[in-house]
């Protein structure tokens, strides 16, 4: 396990790692992972970029807010803007998977002069997912509704066996087995999600998505992300099976590129080389 640097601002502490030289590139993980998910991709990316991998607030080694309102994507995005500024980067490329991708989307809307490019991995816009949720989507992504139930119901249920619940999440979003996740990375995820404060924060993340982020996204329906944007998604994942992923983004991104990668929702773990190739192919054109 790599010991992180810690960035403290206001009431939060953000854990991060830094490697490489070149233009700044921020990588943000999703649920229920940590910054460790990027480790297989960092060596080739760091040959071209200064790579920053960070734990979102509420996750991994970052601080765990007690209030639901503090787990909104707007707060998560602001954390990262301030982290990158502290490292001397007034503008940077941003890449996110899952919750990290939703953070990148919000960051690109709130800080268009800072985000030079935005890459979102295996998500459709939050507003679209919630407003257009069908029975099939709700069945595949039931955790959105389960984790958003009032405290402490989901926390209590998950707390009885965190590994059983979160490992099911790793396997449940499309074509994955535990063998797809490197053992040392899986050990780091387990260490993080066994923390009751982390479980609470992750539930707050999903509560905030419905109670706070959805309304903010509705307010921004007439706004587009103006920087170049890359939409990557798992060719065999639930999102690709149920939705036309690129089409959900067409009206929200001014300059959209997209590609499907072999694997399911966790295609960066399943196909790290293909993911890295797609990222570098996009970023080198900018």
Q: What are 231's strand-pairing partners?
A: 120, 258
Separation CA 101–CA 29 (nearest Å): 8
Residues 133, 197: Cα–Cα separation, whole Å: 29
The domains of the chain, with CATH numbers, are 5-283 (3.40.50.1820)
Beta bridge partners of 177: none
To the nearest 5 percent, what fractions of the chain are helix, strand and coil?
A: 50, 20, 35
Residues with pLDDT less than 50, the chain: none
Query: CB-side exposure of 10: number of CA atoms within 13 Å?
Result: 11
Q: Return the pLDDT at 174.
A: 64
Is the torsion defined by CA of 201, 202, 205, 206 positive or negative? negative
Q: Looking at the annotation, which residues are catalytic? A: 98, 265
| Exposure of 170 in the CB half-sphere (CA atoms within 13 A) | 24
CA distance 230 to 242: 20
**Span between the terminal Cα atoms of the chain, in Å:** 33
């Amino acid at each position: 396990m790599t010991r992180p640097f810690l960035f403290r601002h206001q009431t939060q502490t953000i854990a991060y790692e830094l490697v490489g030289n070149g233009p700044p590139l921020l990588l943000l993980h999703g649920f229920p992972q940590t910054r460790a998910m990027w480790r297989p991709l960092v060596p080739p990316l760091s040959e071209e970029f200064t790579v920053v991998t960070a734990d979102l607030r509420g996750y991994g080694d970052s601080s765990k807010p007690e209030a639901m309102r503090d787990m909104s994507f707007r707060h998560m995005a602001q954390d990262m803007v301030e982290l990158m500024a502290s490292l001397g980067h007034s503008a940077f490329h941003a890449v996110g998977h899952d919750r990290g991708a939703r953070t990148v989307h919000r960051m690109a809307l709130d800080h268009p002069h800072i985000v030079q490019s935005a890459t979102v991995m295996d998500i459709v816009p939050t507003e679209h997912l919630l407003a257009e949720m069908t029975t099939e989507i709700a069945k595949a992504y039931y955790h959105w509704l389960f984790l958003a139930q009032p405290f402490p119901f989901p926390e209590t249920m998950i707390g009885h066996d965190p590994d059983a619940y979160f490992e099911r999440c790793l396997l449940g979003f499309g074509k994955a087995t535990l063998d797809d996740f490197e053992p040392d990375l899986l050990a780091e995820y387990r260490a993080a999600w066994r923390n009751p404060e982390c479980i609470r924060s992750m539930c707050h993340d999903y509560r905030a998505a419905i109670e706070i982020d959805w309304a903010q996204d509705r307010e921004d329906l007439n706004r587009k992300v103006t920087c170049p944007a890359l939409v990557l998604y798992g060719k065999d994942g639930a999102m690709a099976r149920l939705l036309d992923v690129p089409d959900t983004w067409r009206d929200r991104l001014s300059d959209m590129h997209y590609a499907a990668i072999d694997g399911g929702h966790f295609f960066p773990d399943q196909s790290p080389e293909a993911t890295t190739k797609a990222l570098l192919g996009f970023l080198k054109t900018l």
